Amino acid sequence: MQPIALGNLILHPIVEGDIDLLHKWLNAPHVAEWFDGAVSLEAVQRKYIEKIRSDWQQAFIVYQADIPFGYVQSYRASRAGPGWWPDVDEQTVGIDQFIGELSFLGCGMGTLMVREFSSWLLAQPTISRVIADPDLNNEGAIRCYRKAGFVDVGLVDTPKGRALLMERRT
């Protein structure tokens, strides 16, 4: 897959060469608190090599100009596994993302990234709904999703705990 230009953002599909950067970001306190917690390099390799090879997930490093600053992924919600989204159809995708670089926090880049990525997904004829499940205590993520056009659906229990189900539709 080729890089995707979304306004002034460029999404580069992740490759094995991105594993060290992902490891660094996933272990940064501002990411680890909400995403996967502190993780070993081997765990990052296993998880993200699987995403590279997946036919139902897409994962990207997000750049502004030539600077990598974040990560975004989408996945077919119906294939996420037990305990995740049992009542979704094939046209529903879930998203997750984070800003890895501290200098990009608090300046609207998260909202821009979520809005542009979800708009790109919804422009595809096989997608009618994009969902997200931020932690109830992650007020920054919830604000970001709302600013990006997502609406609250309700509370859900996930394998990672209670979360707020949010959606954006075509």
Domain residues of the chain, as ranges? 4-169
Put residue 147 in one of left, alpha, beta given phi > 0 → left and psi -120 to 50 → alpha.
alpha
H-only helix segments in the chain: 19-26, 29-32, 41-53, 109-122, 139-147
pLDDT (0 to 100) of residue 85: 82
Distance linking the first and last C-alpha atoms of the chain: 24
Give the least confident one: 32-41, 74-83, 85-94: 32-41
Fold of 4-169: Aminopeptidase (3.40.630)
pLDDT (0 to 100) of residue 38: 76
Taking only the tens place, the pLDDT of each residue in 125-146 is 999 999 999 999 999 999 999 9
Taking only the tens place, the pLDDT of each residue in 28-38 is 999 999 887 77
Mean pLDDT for 97-114 is 94
Task: Please say whether the beta carbons of 133 and 166 come within 8 A.
Answer: yes
H-only helix segments in 54-159: 109-122, 139-147
